[in-house]
Amino acid sequence: MTPFWIGSTPFRKPLSRRGLFCLAVLITLCLANGSDAVRASGRLIGRVAPGFARRSLHGETVDLSGYRGKVVLLNFWATWCGPCRAELPRFDRWQAKYQARGLQVLAISMDDDPALARGVVDKLGLHFPVVMGDSQLGSLYGGVFGLPVTYLIDRNGVVRRRIEGEAKSDVLEKEIVALLSEPNR
């Protein structure tokens, strides 16, 4: 559903040169003054993924640094998020399919209530660790202002991709396979 005003033309006259100049300046300023969170999320690419250690919903300790040498798919999700719940079983299948080659799926629930997250994890029968997230962890990862958000981290712990929204499964799987093929430096 698209609101009726989207697509309407706000300007009836063609823009003058001055108007075009002002528009260009405005766009440049907007791009230059992007929010910290957006800049931070972009800055993570090519850098070592921010470390965290938390207890999973089922009691095990999950320390990101412990997965060096593996390709990590790090997924932020929530129970009420439809696209998230569509992705999780797919990630679970990939965990089983590529585990031997070095894939590790980790999920971070952005729910407020761990019981809700645990219920969905159990219902979906997920086999990878799930920890509870918070605003601090979200900020560390460049601001998680919408769900799902998925990071691909290579064997050296370097962030290679940030995917906002539901990932195209065929594209993402190819990227995972490519990362799994890279040697551990």
Partner 1 sequence: MKVTLPRSFWAIAVIMTIFGVAALLRALKFGSVPIVSATEIPQSALILPAQLNAELEKRKGEAPLVLQVGSRVMFEQGHIPGAEFVGPAVQPEGIGLLQNRVASLPRGKYIVLYCGCCPWTRCPNMGTAYRFLIGMGFKNVKALYLPNNFGEDWVTQGYRVEK
* Smallest distance, partner 1 to C-beta of residue 20, A: 20
Q: What interhelical angle do 169-181 and 82-98 show, nearest 10?
A: 30
* Smallest distance, partner 1 to C-beta of residue 21, A: 20
Nearer to partner 1, 95 or 139 (CB): 139
Nearer to partner 1, 27 or 178 (CB): 27
Nearer to partner 1, 81 or 107 (CB): 81
- Alpha-carbon distance 144 to 157, whole Å? 20
* Smallest distance, partner 1 to C-beta of residue 171, A: 18
Nearer to partner 1, 6 or 100 (CB): 6
Up-side HSE of residue 146: CA atoms within 13 Å toward CB? 8
* Smallest distance, partner 1 to C-beta of residue 181, A: 31
Nearer to partner 1, 1 or 100 (CB): 1
Residues of the shown chain interacting with partner 1 in the complex, contacts defined by CB under 8 A: 1, 3-6, 30, 33-35, 37-38, 78, 80-84, 110-113, 116, 133-135, 138-139, 143-148, 164-165
- Alpha-carbon distance 132 to 80, whole Å? 15
Nearer to partner 1, 112 or 182 (CB): 112
* Smallest distance, partner 1 to C-beta of residue 77, A: 9
* Smallest distance, partner 1 to C-beta of residue 150, A: 13
